Amino acid sequence: METDLINLQYKRRFRRRLLLLLLLGVSVVVVFCVDIAVGPSLMELGEVFKTIFAPAAADLATRVIIWEVRLPYSVMALLVGAALSLAGLEMQTTLNNPMASPFTLGVSAAAALGAALAIVLSASIPGLDPKWAVAVNAFIFAFGSVMLLQFLSRLGGSGVEALVLLGIAMDFTFKALVGILQYVASAEALQQFVFWSLGSLTRSNWESITVLGSIIAVVMPFSIAASWQMTALRLGEDSARSYGINVRRLRFFSLVRVSLLTATAVAFVGTIGFVGLVGPHIAKLLIGEDHRFSLPAAVLSGALVMSLASIASKAISPGAILPVGVITSLIGVPIFVWLIYSRKKK
Amino acid sequence: MKLNLKAVCLAVVLGAAAVASMGQNITVTDIVGRKVTLKSPAKKVILGEGRAIITLSLLHPDPVSLVAGWTGDFKKSGGLLFDEYQKRFPAMAKIPVIGASGKETVSTERIISLQPELAIFGAGSHGPDARSADVIRQLEAAGIPIIFVDFRLHPFKNTIPSMELLGKVLGREKQANDYIAFYKSHYDKIEQRLKGKNLPRPKVYMEMIRGENLVGSPGKGNLGEFIDFVGAHNIGADILPGEVGTLNMEYVIRQQPDIYIATGIATPGTPGFEIGYGITEAQAQQSLKKQVSRPVALPLKAVQQKKVYGFWHLFYDSPLNIAAVDALARWAHPELFKDIDPDETLKIINEKFLAVPFKGTYFMELK
């Protein structure tokens, strides 16, 4: 009898969560459609979708606007939001810290250092096409920083605290090095770097979308596969161990996933903060701590926040584009605050 | 009594000296409206932006001899032009550096220790400018006069007064007046020809290219003022509230600008639009072609009709801006200004004024 009740409750909760996920998914699709439909040239919705599905029939200007301006911008917004939010969720669980974001352990500062090296000193991998230098440098530094962090934390004893403290130390070190590079930069390079670090979706193209999309597609299955263990880790390190989970190994691979996602996103669009912090929280507030649900929910809520930010960055001053990194916080904060208060009322 | 006599004598001598030196005193009002007095023309000056050496080289055959200290930006932004200066004036390597490119990097203590007779700052600049209250206060307290010039915030209002100022404080009035006369003749020609004509204003889309990306388009002010002055319409000015901003390419495509203009400073082998000192026409052509082969540029009428132009970016912050103005006039109204040739303008500046002539490609039309 009692087990029946528990079963029933479990099923109900399961169904409610599925429904919430579905709702989130539908919102993402709707907002994405709005994002594509919004632009300074006030194209009719029918024309927009006709051009998407039959590009050859449209005139050159319309085709380029849809396929080279609007779609890359909007699709990149979805992908960046999804990647950073997923990375944020993993980071928060791994470090057992609700304040953590993909940028907590210095990944973004490392990416900025790599980008600054390419922009200020033209230093990159020899033989690399200079057009990829900034992105490749940002990626190498971001990914490398997490590997270095893993190595250092292994040397300096175990525990999540050491990891966080070392990460913070690295964050400050990278920021200081970026500061020195800014000091020696020419005025023009400095301007270019500031522009890069504000974060912008205007740099998106189909190549970068393919790369980021593939990284997400490769990383996500591993995240999902680990979601059981991650949920156990949410209960505390000791209870996770008592389930027979190798916490160190779990943490290591989670950080590898985080750094892959973050490094790739930052490499292409610059540092877009906040979505990696707020995306996972929106997901958890809506759906709870169970990673099997909070993980897809974080992916969707991150994509949703970035899609909204993308609309705002184009619509606030039609014809101009405001840096999306600046807009994201302005869009994310109200959703976040509303969720916190509506939960308290319950 | 004896003492008094001595005092009187001393007073007379001192007074006479004061009168004599007052005769030499130079008093000017600078661009931001400050009254500045120098005892004599300055022979040792601080440059708040190293690239102002180009301005000095319009006035003095050995501009390096005037510089007591400068910021490091010319070395970083000057490219091959810097190398040429270095070759001609080996002493340039020994000019003390007072800071890097940004204003927060400048050391006032270093400036004071160099004991310059004058500091020349831009009213709005990458180096210390009219908003750098601390630097101004400290230098004034140390008795170092500062003058503000401006080629950047309001190039058309301020270029001539700035050159007049520099002529006076450096004791190079003849050279300054010669350049001003040359400048005015070009400026007036364009202004007068456009006056009362009410010509349709061609739409201009301008982008400033740095590295792989563009950093933006001019809005109101600076390069936007150039476009306005030559009787064209800067589509960025309708949208962007500040000096520079990012335009949505969709807006640009729908506006269908008549003319596309890029500015660049890249040196060979670095990403971006290669143009400037030591760059060949072929290199610049190839690199501009790449810029307009981006998919988003293809639907632009200006690109399809080959109304694609480019110029060296640093004209924007220099009294040489007149050459860029000539170029823009020619591109905006080719019929009206068919006798104007920016390369010719630059050639005259090279021959008659500049200590180090500009060699290379500075203006170009995509073939």
CB A187 to CB B73 under 8 A? yes
CB-based contact A70 B101, cutoff 8 Å: no
Q: Does B239 touch chain A (CB under 8 A)?
A: yes
Give the pLDDT confidence of B316-339 residue by residue, as tens digits: 889 999 999 999 999 999 999 999
Structure tokens at A133: 């230098």
Average pLDDT over residues B258-268: 90
Q: In this predicted model, what pLDDT tens digit does every residue of A99-114 receive, in sequence order?
A: 888 888 888 899 889 9
B11 has a pLDDT exceeding 90: no
Residue of A nearest to B126 (CA): A187
Cβ under 8 Å to A: B residues 175-214: 210-213
Residue pair A126/A140 in contact (Cβ under 8 Å)? The answer is no
Nearest to B254 among A40, A186, A320 (CB): A40
Beta carbons of A185 and B76 less than 8 Å apart:
yes
Q: Comparing C-alpha atoms, which of B183, B359, B175, B206 is closest to residue B279? A: B359
CB contact under 8 Å between A186 and B101, yes or no, is yes
Collapsing DSSP to helix, strand or coil, B213 comes out as strand
Nearest CA to B246 out of A313, A130, A70 is that of A313
In sequence order, which residues have a C-beta less than 8 Å from that of residue A267 and are 6 or more positions away?
A: A111, A115, A134, A135, A136, A138, A139, A142
Per-residue model confidence as pLDDT tens digits over B19-63: 444 557 899 999 999 999 999 999 999 999 888 999 999 999 999
Q: Is A70 on the interface with B (CB under 8 A)?
A: yes
Q: What is the spatial distance between Cα B184 and Cα B189, in angstroms, rounded to a whole number? A: 8
The rounded mean pLDDT for chain A is: 87
pLDDT digits (tens, 9 = 90+) for B54-78: 999 999 999 999 999 998 888 877 8
Is B245 an 8 Å CB contact of chain A? yes
On the CB side of B272, CA atoms within 13 Å amount to 27
Residue A320 pairs in a beta bridge with: B247
Model pLDDT, residue A330:
82
Dihedral of the alpha carbons of B8, B14, B17, B21, in degrees to the nearest 10 = -140
Task: Dig out the tokens for B340 from the structure.
Answer: 């104007």
Cα B325 to Cα B341: distance, rounded to the nearest angstrom: 10
Tell me the residues of chain A between 306 and 345 that have a Cβ less than 8 Å away from chain B: 314, 317-323
Average of pLDDT values for A16-41? Answer: 93
User: If you measure CA to CA, which chain A residue comes closest to B249?
Assistant: A69
User: Searching chain B, which residue's CA lies closest to the CA of residue A70?
Assistant: B250
Query: Would you give the DSSP letter of residue B160?
Result: H
Integer CA distances (angstroms), A198 to A177, A183, A321, B235, in order: 18, 18, 12, 24
Question: A116 vs B51, B109, B284, CA distance in Å?
Answer: 23, 29, 26
DSSP A290-314: -HHHHHHHHHHHHHHHHHHHHHHHH
Residues across chain B: 367
Confirm if A187 and B126 have CB atoms less than 8 A apart.
yes
Q: Which helix (H) or strand (E) holds B208?
A: strand B203-210
Confidence of residue A344 (pLDDT cuts 50, 70, 90): low
Which chain B residue's Cα is nearest to A119? B211
**List of chain A residues whose C-beta atoms are within 8 Å of the C-beta of residue B292:** none
Option in B76, B245, B250 nearest A186 (CB)? B76
Q: At what angle do helices A227-234 and A71-94 cross, to 10 degrees?
A: 50
Residue B274 is classified by DSSP as B
Residues on chain B touching A187 (C-beta within 8 angstroms): 73, 76-77, 101-102, 126
Nearest to B212 among A134, A187, A191 (CB): A134
Mean pLDDT of B187-216: 88
Cβ-defined contact of A65 to B246 (cutoff 8 Å)? no
* Weakest mean pLDDT among A239-253, B246-260, B279-293: A239-253
Task: Please classify residue B31 by burial: count the beta carbons closer than 10 Å to its beta carbon, then call 0-12 exposed, 13-18 middle and 19+ buried.
Answer: buried
> C-alpha A297: how far from its chain's center?
13
Answer yes or no: are the C-beta atoms of B46 and B119 closer than 8 Å: yes
Q: Is B73 on the interface with A (CB under 8 A)?
A: yes
Q: Is B94 an 8 Å CB contact of chain A? A: no
CB B309 within 8 Å of CB B208 = no
Q: What is the ipTM of this complex?
A: 0.81
The reply to whether the predicted model has a pTM over 0.80 is yes
Q: Is the pLDDT of residue B215 over 80?
A: no
Are the Cβ atoms of A319 and B238 closer than 8 angstroms?
Answer: yes
Q: Quick check: A58 and A278 in contact, CB under 8 A?
A: no
Report the percentage of chain A scoring pLDDT > 70. Answer: 97
Q: Given an 8 Å threshold on Cβ–Cβ distance, is A189 in contact with B76?
A: yes
Measured between alpha carbons, how far is B273 from B209 in angstroms, rounded to an integer?
6
**Angle between the A45-53 and A2-37 helix axes, to the nearest 10 degrees?**
100
- Rounded mean pLDDT, A299-306: 95
| Chain A contact set for B77 (CB, 8 A) | 186-188
CA A79 to chain centre: 8
Q: What integer pLDDT is reported at residue B220 of this predicted model?
A: 86
Pair B262, B288: CB distance under 8 Å: yes
